[in-house]
Amino acid sequence: MAENLTTVISSKTQTVEINRAKPTIIIGERINPTGRKKVLKALQEGDFEMVREDATSQVAAGAAVLDVNAGVPGADEPALLQQVMRTVLEVTDVPLCIDTADPEALEAALSLYEGKALVNSVNGEERALGVVLPLVQEYGAAVIGLCMDDDGIPETPEQRLAVAGMIIERAGALGIPPEDVVIDPLALTMGADSNAGRVALETIELLVEEFGVNITMGASNISFGMPDRKYINAAFIAMAIRAGLTCPITNPLVTEVITAVLAADLSMGRDDYGMLWIQAYRQREKAAQG
């Protein structure tokens, strides 16, 4: 079994270490106009108050890193992404995960950022590898590698493992070490493919065994189109943590999900004397009392 690697990301004042022996790191997903009409409308109107609220509420709920996306159709994404980042950094100093498919926006964001960012993301497509990885190397960032390539999303865990290996190899050729490549095995919706959860979990296990890299995923994707999604998400994220997930991108404001993460960490021996669990319990009790 490969050694468990430590991925370090940072802001100007905070450092976050991601490692399988440590508590799970939550990457808050809410600063993203995709699928959130209110956020999209606000950004289109130049209103950043919801960005501030999402940043502060997610950190208060347990997010140690915030994913920041400014993909507004027709907007000047490089400028908008910089403004969203500035807004977030006005209210919190947690490290950021820069989420964009636009190379110009990515470079603009990295040039602004003080610290070591996490880039979301690169995949195994030749075009993406040739554009994103050099920027990651130039700015000393870490990067999320998606298990998909020019042929699409592989069906089997073994095929996804092969794509991950290729991304890690290509990153290494540029001097980006394996610990700075966080792999996303891709959680597809079980509503469309009942094997999607199993394939994702088995892929995680293979990645941990072969490379020891840290693992992320858009954990909420697994339940898309299903009723009572929060229960599916909570169960799946706990199982994924047991398999080797270390830094899921999810919504920490969903009580069922965040408590599943805390319970999984406690069960895995990553919460000394249950102090994180007890602290979260007291916060829930305080909130319930108004």
β-bridge pairing 15-18 and 27-31: unpaired
The two most distant CA atoms of the chain are separated, in Å, by 55
Tell me what the mean pLDDT of segment 58-87 comes to: 96
Phi-psi region of 286 (alpha: psi -120 to 50; beta: other; left: phi over 0): alpha
| Contact between residue 265 and residue 241 where contact means Cβ atoms under 8 Å apart | yes
What are the structure tokens assigned to 134, written together?
Answer: 């050099």
Q: What are the pLDDT digits (tens) for 254-284?
A: 999 999 999 999 999 999 999 999 999 999 8
Residue 287 to residue 235: CA distance in whole angstroms: 24
Helical H runs in 31-112? 37-44, 49-61, 77-91, 103-112
Tell me what the mean pLDDT of segment 46-51 comes to: 95
* Banded model confidence at residue 287, pLDDT cuts 50, 70, 90: confident
pLDDT number for residue 290: 74
Q: What are the pLDDT digits (tens) for 113-165?
A: 999 999 999 999 999 999 999 999 999 999 999 999 999 999 999 999 999 99
Task: Return the amino acid letter for 221.
Answer: N
Tell me what the mean pLDDT of segment 182-197 comes to: 96
* Whether pLDDT at 226 is above 80: yes
Q: Return the exposure string of 44-72: e unless at least 16 CB atoms fall within 10 Å of the residue's CB, then b.
A: eeeebebbeebbeebbebbbbbbbbbbbb
Average pLDDT, rounded, for the chain: 96
Q: What are the pLDDT digits (tens) for 60-72?
A: 999 999 999 999 9
What are the structure tokens assigned to 126, written together?
Answer: 């030749």
Give CB contacts under 8 A, 24+ apart, made by 156-160. Answer: 156/199, 157/185, 157/199, 157/202, 157/203, 157/205, 157/206, 158/206, 160/185, 160/186, 160/199, 160/203, 160/206
CATH homologous superfamily of 7-288 equals Dihydropteroate synthase-like (3.20.20.20)
Cis amide leading into 121 (omega within 30): yes
Residue 16 bridge partners (DSSP) = 9
- Tell me whether residue 282 is exposed, middle or buried, using C-beta atoms within 10 angstroms of its C-beta: 0 to 12, 13 to 18, 19 or more: exposed
* Banded model confidence at residue 73, pLDDT cuts 50, 70, 90: very high
Q: At what angle do helices 126-139 and 103-112 cross, to 10 degrees?
A: 10
Give the list of residues 6+ apart from residue 228 with CB closer than 8 angstroms, or none.
none
* Whether pLDDT at 107 is above 90: yes
**Quick one: which of 141, 124, 122, 140 has its CA closest to 132?**
122
* Banded model confidence at residue 219, pLDDT cuts 50, 70, 90: confident
Domains of the chain: which residue ranges? 7-288
pLDDT number for residue 1: 76
- DSSP class of residue 32? -
* Whether pLDDT at 15 is above 80: yes
Please state the pTM of the whole predicted model.
Answer: 0.97
